[in-house]
Amino acid sequence: MRIALVSETWAPEVNGVAHTLSHFASHLVSKGILLQLIRPDPADGKRDVLAERDVHVRGVALPIYADVHVGWPCRRRLMRLWREERPDAIYIATEGPLGWSALNAARRLQIPVVSGFHTNFDQYASNYRLGWSIPMARRGLRYFHNRCEATLVPTAAQRDALEDYGYRGVSVLARGVDANRYQPSRRDNELRRQWGAAPDQPVALYVGRLASEKNIELLASTMAAMRRANPELVQVLVGDGPARKTITRRLPDAIFTGFQTGEALARHYASADMFIFPSLSETFGNVVPEAMASGLAVVAFDHAAAKELITHDVNGRLVPPGDDQGFIQAASELCQQPALYTSLGREARKRASSLSWSHIGDRFLAHLIQVQGAPHAATHSTSHV
């Protein structure tokens, strides 16, 4: 079997979509699937060793977000490729120009398509003063996904919201976590000493992009309030982005590590005590189960991954979305209660340990196999990008 993956982001880029796709790709190859990868030119120009064919197209930076690139449309090129090496199914992870051209090529060739709904466009648009574009974008996204045989979303709440808006063929495909990599035993006392944290000194951690859509202003306010509530608190922020200068000014005593990956990231998680995650822009948020698997007490809004995985005051703390003061209060109280955050972290580890990427990968493959018999791949109308 041959599967094509189309995405405008891919490892080693650091984001949830690239992270999830790397697990999907590895699982497909482990099952003997031939993998085609279609993506924008990577910065290092290297081919991905997992792919039978790694097709690079021109990438263009978004004007409002220079760190994010989208792929240039290439419908004719993809039609030539897929006539010569026809995939049994195509997975399109992003709805940018490359994703649209791939969908148009697939519809013309009557190849079944599964799409992923990975990005909460409404939230991003609001944070970048593009609220005027939301109604048009919603209609465009619905049209895009309804031309696919199936759309996969990470949570039941996301499925229900899309179905209410008229999406068809929506199924839940949860996310996993590598509980062998992310575990409390990765705690590194030397790393904590580098942070200036004594063995009994609490460390509050954030992992993610430092950008407006991650609710970074609330993160700064929360970390500052926690420090006032407990002057012994050490603040560690893993990641980078356009808001770094702003939050550095807001949190002059915080430690900024830049992006971390692999074993280094696992040590950063496990060497903290609490995980503070105020974002509302995620469709899932892989960092939440990673923090939980590492034994951290998570403070998050009742949204996305946290909504699915956390039971309030059992294995973390949940706050109603939009209740900023409640979020600050929940985090400030927690950092003063070491017995509580230790207990929550222990239970969080138990919950996250049940989330297997192997199981998720099997379900992903099952969706790709199922659509191969879908009759309406041949009947969708085509459009041009």
- Residue 4's nearest CA partner among 26, 34, 44 is 34
What are the tens digits of pLDDT across the range 41-60? 988 888 999 999 999 999 88
Contact between residue 256 and residue 274 where contact means Cβ atoms under 8 Å apart: no
The alpha carbon of 127 is separated from its chain's Cα centroid by a whole number of angstroms, namely: 18
- The pLDDT tens digits for 278-319 are 999 898 999 999 999 999 999 999 999 999 999 999 999 999
Dist. CA 355–CA 157, nearest whole Å: 18
What residue spans of the chain are helical by DSSP H? 16-30, 75-84, 97-109, 121-127, 134-146, 156-164, 189-195, 216-229, 244-250, 262-270, 287-293, 304-309, 324-334, 338-352, 357-370
Q: With 50 as the cut, is the pLDDT of residue 61 above it?
A: yes
pLDDT, one tens digit per residue, over 169-218 is 999 999 999 999 999 999 999 999 999 999 999 999 999 999 998 999 99
Identify the helix (H) or strand (E) that includes residue 27: helix 16-30
Work out the angle between the directed axes of helices 216-229 and 324-334 (0-180°, nearest 10): 40
Residues 322-340 have a mean pLDDT of: 98
> Among 64-73, 164-173, 211-220, 334-343, which is the least confidently predicted range?
64-73
**Distance between CA atoms of residues 242 and 69, nearest Å:** 15
The pTM (predicted TM-score) of the whole model is 0.88
Per-residue pLDDT at 381: 42
Residue found by looking up tokens 């993506």 in the block: 39
Domains observed in the chain: 2-176+357-378 (3.40.50.2000), 184-352 (3.40.50.2000)
Alpha helices in 175-303 (DSSP H): 189-195, 216-229, 244-250, 262-270, 287-293
pLDDT at position 15, please? 85
- Per residue in 76-127, pLDDT (tens digit) is 999 999 999 999 999 999 999 999 999 999 999 999 999 999 876 655 545 5
CA atoms within 13 A on the CB side of 221: 12
Strand order in the sheet with 274-277: 255-258, 234-238, 203-207, 274-277, 297-301, 317-319
pLDDT digits (tens, 9 = 90+) for 159-183: 999 999 999 999 999 999 999 999 9
pLDDT for 155 beyond 60:
yes
Determine whether 43 is exposed, middle or buried from the number of CB atoms within 10 Å of its CB (0-12, 13-18, 19+).
Answer: exposed
pLDDT for the residue 64: 55
Mean pLDDT score across all residues of the chain = 92
Q: Which two tokens stand for residue 228?
A: 């006032």
